[in-house]
Amino acid sequence: MELIRCNHCEGRLFARLYSKQGSDGIDYTLARCSNCKLVQVNPQPSAEEVAKCYESSYFTQRTDRGYDNYYSDSIKKEITRVFTLNLEDLEFFPWEATLPDSKSTLDIGCAAGYFVDFMDKRGWMAVGIDIAKEPIHFAKNTLGVIAVCGDFLTWDKEIKNKYELITLWASLEHLHKPKETLEKIYRHLKPNGRLILSTCRYGSLAKVLRKRWRYMNVPEHLYFYSLDLLIEQCQEIGFKNISYITYGSGFTAKKNASKLYKTAKRFMDGFVKVLDQGDMMVLSLEKS
């Protein structure tokens, strides 16, 4: 692991927040950039070191961080429900209706390809990309969608102005180079094309719960943006017409949860959404 410069501002000074043991038994340090305040795992493990955490059990065994069989119908239904709600909240569907029949979209960090499949069925030319082999195999062979196993930053060199829409669903926090990824996305979008991005939000819940926060999963998650910092970064890149919502109250969806837990979760989820204090954020951004 090596101490790296801040991905957002290239700063070299950090305040240590705390350490947390990762799924691999290694202790990771959470640090805040003294200049721009971006919270990050630093020193940072390499992509090869993190890759071990995405072996097949990540998608098939329920842990704090993995999924309880990602390939099941129930997970597919839940994931589809959440992104459909996000798209409605961001007024995606009225915008989609203004686009020509022939349109392209790319989903970065597509996992099993559920969003690619959703867009494919809506008539888009849809492609997904992910570094994890097994879910890409599922996307191609079970769903029959176009999906590529690889790293977006080294794939598809410099094809500019190609996509009407690029999506990053809960992927930004996993990336070693989030800023470079956003810059490349910007170049790949057509003028007035949109990026829809969701990521965990470093806000009041994260500050109070610290290492117990549900998204503080290291080393899979490397960067934790506040809403303001993420908007600032996207504006610096050139994105405009930024809209967003926040949701999620810190209650994780659990199978076999008690009725009380489910009621509390429903109440709190609604509450934080209204107060704009959710620990997930989803943004819609437009290329100038």
Q: Which residues bind Zn ion (CB under 5 A)?
A: 6, 8-9, 11, 33, 35-36, 38
Closest contact distance (angstroms) between CB of 236 and Zn ion is 12
Closest contact distance (angstroms) between CB of 154 and Zn ion is 24
Structure tokens at 191: 């003028």
Closest contact distance (angstroms) between CB of 221 and Zn ion is 17
Q: Which is nearer to Zn ion, 6 or 170 (CB)?
A: 6
DSSP characters over 168-222? EES-GGG-S-HHHHHHHHHHHEEEEEEEEEEEEB-SHHHHHHGGGSTT--TTT--
Q: Which is nearer to Zn ion, 38 or 112 (CB)?
A: 38
Q: Which is nearer to Zn ion, 14 or 251 (CB)?
A: 14
Contact, 188 vs 159, CB < 8 A? yes
CA distance 212 to 227: 20
Q: Which is nearer to Zn ion, 5 or 262 (CB)?
A: 5
Closest contact distance (angstroms) between CB of 34 and Zn ion is 8
Closest contact distance (angstroms) between CB of 35 and Zn ion is 5
Closest contact distance (angstroms) between CB of 211 and Zn ion is 21
Is residue 20 helix, strand or coil? strand
CA distance 132 to 150: 8
CA distance 288 to 193: 8
Q: Which is nearer to Zn ion, 33 or 285 (CB)?
A: 33
Amino acid at 202: Y
Q: How far is CA 128 from the centre of its chain?
A: 14
> Please, which residues have CB within 8 angstroms of residue 108's CB and are 6 or more apart in sequence?
128, 129, 130, 152, 166, 167, 168, 171, 181, 185
Closest contact distance (angstroms) between CB of 208 and Zn ion is 23
Q: Which is nearer to Zn ion, 188 or 221 (CB)?
A: 221
Closest contact distance (angstroms) between CB of 13 and Zn ion is 9
> Please, which residues have CB within 8 angstroms of residue 276's CB and are 6 or more apart in sequence?
246
Q: Which is nearer to Zn ion, 35 or 192 (CB)?
A: 35
Amino acid at 124: W
Q: Which of 216, 197, 177, 182 is nearest to 7 (CA)?
A: 177
Helix and strand numbers, DSSP H then E, in the chain: 10, 11
Q: Which is nearer to Zn ion, 9 or 264 (CB)?
A: 9
Please tell me the total number of residues recorded for the chain in this structure. Answer: 288
